[in-house]
């Protein structure tokens, strides 16, 4: 090979690094040097990783999760185009790099010919800025003015979404954004601020009149002046009290309104995220943002703005009045001021860091608790209560560790603050005493001055704490806005409204798919089949073959990578989310009901029917649920309990079937609808499903492990490892004696009956005899030619 391509010269630096316990060969391509002798022969191409900036290395490995099987990272400058093409032609590498474009290639199956994409791309340099430093703020791909390279079936929004997620906010940006969220309550906020200024301004006069009153009694003994000043101080107190009450009430109201708005906005945004997003994040992490983060950011922001403004009024007013009382003492005070600021700033920074850690570990602990309580039946049935408690305690210990650090910092901050303000007061008393003794200031000056100085110290301390508090709000706001700004990879509002009625023919044409969370594991590999309108198509095959994934793609829970999924010849992506789910409904293996009444569960989701009562009655009758619902005390108003726990498995499933039928769908998908039920419930539900299959005029896609439930299907599609391996009706497939017949044989063997495979190659009569003479439960009638 070297002899054939003498013009290819590269210069490498080789190094091994140990990353997360895995030794990784790192080959740095220094630059493309046409005249440097080639040193390519010793390189293990399966472990190639090129880079030009070593400091980025660990981050790259971490970000792309490459420490297990690094293939190739193309980064830095002037990576040789020919080199890349070589690698790809030889089908040995994945191309992974820095721009959104190249990162996308990381999830392109190894071995795919990427040459056409590269040809349009390799003229340019690969620019480090798109991946960015982990410590830098933004990795938004919007800056990329080059044409992004998109995998087939992927749109730009999808790439953008990946980059916007986890974007870093600056403190000012987060606060600005938070304040902008308060705009709808501007009128209340203005009133609150007016009250705040009145309260703070009135409060400012207290020390002044306290000094005067003491002077009236102790020094001048002037009763008239004493009475007048007492009257004034009563007015000041009333004004301060009323204004403080208004300020406090109005700010609390604004906080409540803002939290309500942010929470609902966040929820609306999060619920629209694509399914794979929920696969990759912890539920506790999300719910924590709704509960702890939302209230924290609003409460802390409001409280601290409140404190900040109050303190600012106090600081400015105190300084003015202090200078008026004595400029010498004021000068002394000014010397102490910077210490307060420095202290506040340092602790503010630490506070933010610690708060983030605490919130993260808290979310972790929340997830653990949620998982344990959500799966309480499993926990109980494995008697693992103490195991779960240990897991939770471990997570809480981590929270505690960070809280403990925070406690130390808090202690340090408080001590420092008191030391600075009280130390200053002591120095003032000492110096002020000297000034009085030397007759440089009057006797009624020192007391109000010290009082002003104390409130100045408190106000400065509060402003230091404001910074700290604001940083807490920023930490929470950052987490909330990250989530709020995330663009869903699938826009649910896009598309046309589907017609009210369609025939319901479904076609898969060469569909390729992998779950976004597992980019290297192809699930469907060019799968094609047609489910004819008004017929029952059964999908069968080994576990993990991709049957449920097919359902997820029809209903657009996930997006296919390649190929077409058509509903009556129209790409399912053309229809809006809402109208698609009106036409296509799914009954899942685990019937999921909400903690609402039966009626509300049946009428779940947006759809229109002429007569709701009639529609519910028809749907529940068809689902064999009508009778048992009417036998319940509260009938359709019966509460189902959390996840439908107050109903039996069979009842839940029949309600779930009614929920699907009430929309009068054109396509009904039954995904292992009976497999989670006990034998008695299964029989009832199966009877309902059989009736639906016979009576309902709709396309039905049926997934079932128990092959006895699919034998009446008009068409059976056998799926294996993401491919269709056989199609036909039961009789045709049994005659073929291949995949389907093997599945049947395996199931019969499991249930103790003879293998049809053996019997199929025998005479028809023998085969029939085997079945009809079987003493075991005849779950499956394998007689060729028998369709019942």
Sign of CA dihedral 592, 597, 599, 603: negative
Cβ closer to ligand ATP: 579 or 588?
588
Tell me the closest approach of the beta carbon of residue 528 to ligand ATP, in angstroms.
16
Least distance from ligand ATP to the Cβ atom of residue 160, Å: 22
Q: What share of the chain is helix, strand, coil (3-state, %, to 5)?
A: 60, 10, 30
The CA distance from 372 to 547, in Å, is 29
Q: Which two tokens stand for residue 159?
A: 């790439």
Closer residue to ligand ATP, CB minimum distance, 28 or 549: 549
Pick from 98, 108, 181: which is nearest to 132 by CA? 98
Shortest Å distance, C-beta 719 to ligand ATP: 6
Give the pair of three-digit tokens for residue 519. 């980019």
Minimum CB distance to ligand ATP, residue 787 (Å)? 25
Closer residue to ligand ATP in complex, CB, 197/515: 515
Cβ-count burial 554-568 (b if 16+ within 10 Å, e if not): bbbbbbbbbbbbebb
Task: For the CB of residue 295, give the shortest distance to ligand ATP in the complex, in Å.
Answer: 32
Listed as own residue / partner, the contacts of 353-358 with beta carbons closer than 8 Å and 24 or more positions apart are: 354/402, 354/405, 354/406, 354/409, 355/406, 355/471, 355/472, 355/475, 355/476, 356/475, 357/402, 358/399, 358/402, 358/403, 358/406
Q: Tokens for 369, please give them.
A: 């608790």
- Residues within the interface to ligand ATP (CB under 6 A): 279, 515, 517-518, 523, 541, 543-549
- The angle that helices 294-325 and 223-270 make with each other, rounded to 10 degrees, is 150
What H or E segment, with its residue span, contains residue 547?
helix 547-554
Tokens 């199956």 — which residue? 109
548 or 620: CB nearest ligand ATP: 548
Min dist CB 517 to ligand ATP, Å, is 5
Q: Three-class SS of residue 345?
A: helix
What single-letter DSSP state applies at residue 707? G
3-state secondary structure 709-739: HCCCCCEEEEEECCEEEEEECHHHHHHHCCH
Q: Which is nearer to ligand ATP, 112 or 518 (CB)?
A: 518
Q: Residue 738 Cβ, how far from ligand ATP at the closest point, in Å? A: 18
Reduced to 3 states, what is the DSSP secondary structure of residue 687? helix
Lookup: tokens for 471: 């940083």
DSSP characters for 125-193?
Answer: PPPGGGT--TTSS---GGG--SPPP--TT--HHHHHHHHHTT----HHHHHHHHHHHTGGGHHHHHHHH
In whole angstroms, the minimum distance from the beta carbon of 525 to ligand ATP comes to: 11
The CB-of-305 to ligand ATP minimum distance in angstroms stands at: 43
Q: Of the two residues 74 and 523, which places its CB atom closer to ligand ATP in the complex?
A: 523
> Could you tell me the smallest distance in angstroms from the CB atom of residue 290 to ligand ATP?
23
Q: Which is nearer to ligand ATP, 110 or 263 (CB)?
A: 110
> Assign residue 186 a region: left if phi > 0, alpha if psi is -120 to 50, beta otherwise?
alpha
Give 467 or 558: the residue with its C-beta nearer to ligand ATP.
558
Shortest spacing between CB 108 and ligand ATP, in angstroms: 18
Q: Based on CB atoms, which residue is closest to ligand ATP, 422 or 521?
A: 521
């Amino acid at each position: 090979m070297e002899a054939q391509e003498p013009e290819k010269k590269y210069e490498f630096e080789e190094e091994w690094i140990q990353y997360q316990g895995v030794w990784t060969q790192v080959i740095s391509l220094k630059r493309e040097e046409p005249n440097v002798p080639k040193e390519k022969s010793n390189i293990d191409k399966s472990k190639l990783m090129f880079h030009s900036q070593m400091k980025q290395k660990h981050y790259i490995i971490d970000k792309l999760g490459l420490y297990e099987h690094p293939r190739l990272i193309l980064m830095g400058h002037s990576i040789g185009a020919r080199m890349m093409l070589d690698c790809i032609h030889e089908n040995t590498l994945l191309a992974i790099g820095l721009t959104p474009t190249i990162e996308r290639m990381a999830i392109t199956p190894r071995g795919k010919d990427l040459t056409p994409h590269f040809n349009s791309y390799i003229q340019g340099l690969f620019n480090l800025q798109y991946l960015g430093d982990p410590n830098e703020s933004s990795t938004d791909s919007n800056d990329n003015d080059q044409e992004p390279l998109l995998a087939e079936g992927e749109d730009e929004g999808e790439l953008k979404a990946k980059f916007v997620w986890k974007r870093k906010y600056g403190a000012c940006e987060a606060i600005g954004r938070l304040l902008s969220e308060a705009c709808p309550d501007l009128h209340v906020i203005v009133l609150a601020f007016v009250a705040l200024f009145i309260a703070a301004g009135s409060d400012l006069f207290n020390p002044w009149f306290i000094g005067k009153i003491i002077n009236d009694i102790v020094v001048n003994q002037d009763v008239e002046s004493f009475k007048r000043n007492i009257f004034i101080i009563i007015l000041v107190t009333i004004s301060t009290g009323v204004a403080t009450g208004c300020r406090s009430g109005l700010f609390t109201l604004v906080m409540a309104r803002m939290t309500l708005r942010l929470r609902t906005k966040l929820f609306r945004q999060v619920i629209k995220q694509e399914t794979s997003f929920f696969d990759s994040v912890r539920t506790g992490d999300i719910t924590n943002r709704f509960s702890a983060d939302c209230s924290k950011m609003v409460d802390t922001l409001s409280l601290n703005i409140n404190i900040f403004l109050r303190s600012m009024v106090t600081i400015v007013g105190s300084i003015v009045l202090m200078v008026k009382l004595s400029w010498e003492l004021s000068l002394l005070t000014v010397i102490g001021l910077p210490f307060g600021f420095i202290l506040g700033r340092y602790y503010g920074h630490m506070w933010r860091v610690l708060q983030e850690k605490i919130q993260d570990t808290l979310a972790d602990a929340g997830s653990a608790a949620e998982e344990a309580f959500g799966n309480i039946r499993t926990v109980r049935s494995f008697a693992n209560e103490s195991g779960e408690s240990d897991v939770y305690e471990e997570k809480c210990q981590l929270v505690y560790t960070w809280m403990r650090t925070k406690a130390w910092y808090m202690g340090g901050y408080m001590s420092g603050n008191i030391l600075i303000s009280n130390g200053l007061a002591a120095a003032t008393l000492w110096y002020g005493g000297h000034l009085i003794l030397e007759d440089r200031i009057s006797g009624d000056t020192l007391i109000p001055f010290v009082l002003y100085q104390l409130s100045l110290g408190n106000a400065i301390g509060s402003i230091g704490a404001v910074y700290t508090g604001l940083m807490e709000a920023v930490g929470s706001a950052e987490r909330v806005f990250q989530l709020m700004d995330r663009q869903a990879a699938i826009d649910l509002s896009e598309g046309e409204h589907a017609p009210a009625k369609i025939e319901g023919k479904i076609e898969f044409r060469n569909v390729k798919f992998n779950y976004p969370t597992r980019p290297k594991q192809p699930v469907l590999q060019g799968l094609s089949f047609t489910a004819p309108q008004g017929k029952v198509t059964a999908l069968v095959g080994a576990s993990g073959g991709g049957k449920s994934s097919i359902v997820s793609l029809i209903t657009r829970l996930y997006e296919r990578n390649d190929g077409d999924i058509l509903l009556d010849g129209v790409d399912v992506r053309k229809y809006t989310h809402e109208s698609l789910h009106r036409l296509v409904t799914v009954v899942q293996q685990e019937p999921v009901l909400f903690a609402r009444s039966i009626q509300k569960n049946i009428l779940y989701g947006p759809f229109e029917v002429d007569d709701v009562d009639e529609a519910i009655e028809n749907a529940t009758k068809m689902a064999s649920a009508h009778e048992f619902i009417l036998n319940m005390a509260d009938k359709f108003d019966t509460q189902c309990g959390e996840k439908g726990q107050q109903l039996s498995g069979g009842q839940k499933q029949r309600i779930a079937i009614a929920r699907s039928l009430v929309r009068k769908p054109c396509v009904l998908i039954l995904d292992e609808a009976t497999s989670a039920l006990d034998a008695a419930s299964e029989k009832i539900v199966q009877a309902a499903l059989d009736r639906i299959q016979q009576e309902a005029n709709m396309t039905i896609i049926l997934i079932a492990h128990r092959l006895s439930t699919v034998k009446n299907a008009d068409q059976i599609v056998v799926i294996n490892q993401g491919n269709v391996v056989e199609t036909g009706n039961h009789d045709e497939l049994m005659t073929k004696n291949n995949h389907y017949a093997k599945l049947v044989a395996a199931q019969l063997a499991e249930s103790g009956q003879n293998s049809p495979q053996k019997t199929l190659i025998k005479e028809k009569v023998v085969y029939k005899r085997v079945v009809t003479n079987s003493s075991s439960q005849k779950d499956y009638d394998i007689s060729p030619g028998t369709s019942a």
